[in-house]
Amino acid sequence: MEGPLEAATRPSRLPALTHITVVVLLSLSFISGLGVWRGEILQARSLETPAWLHGSLILHGCLNPLLCVLFGYLCCGHIRMGWQLKANRITGVSMEILFAALILSGAGLYYAGSVEWRNTFVWAHRVLGLLLPLGLGAHWAAGLGWAKKIQNNPCT
């Protein structure tokens, strides 16, 4: 690379619109997922379905194809470039595994053949969903640290 790598122009940095899209889609998915979880708890306690539960479930499910497209986009661009730059590999691979596991556990919820398997997928999806903001925060912080390190020492 020629000259110091500016953090704002590094090749693996997501464009502003993509960054906003990632934050909005993942936030909507997280919030609607918490809504579904809370609604199911209320439903189990009172044996009545909260009026908003169906809407939360529909929103959460409709986000799935968009999140799958986002995952593919990130794999083809952001992840590939980050790998070539040897940037953020531990948190990047962790995020990739976490995102893929969420997609697969969500699919498992639809196609589970038995109650036992469905319960396994439900709890896996919940735990993975709760880990996603933590993983994303760690990946973001590590990315800032990597960019700062490269900016201060461009020969590494």
For the chain, the three-class secondary structure string (H helix, E strand, C coil) is CCCCCCHHHCCCCCCHHHHHHHHHHHHHHHHHHHHHHHHHHHHHHHCCCCCCHHHHHHHHHHHHHHHHHHHHHHHHHHHHHHHHCCCCHHHHHHHHHHHHHHHHHHHHHHHCCCHHHHHHHHHHHHHHHHHHHHHHHHHHHHHHHHHHHHHHCCCC
What pLDDT sits at residue 155?
A: 63
Assigned CATH for 12-152 = 1.20.950
Q: Where are the domains of the chain?
A: 12-152
What pLDDT sits at residue 154?
A: 63
Would you say residue 42 has pLDDT above 50? Answer: yes
- pLDDT class for 1, splitting at 50, 70, 90? very low
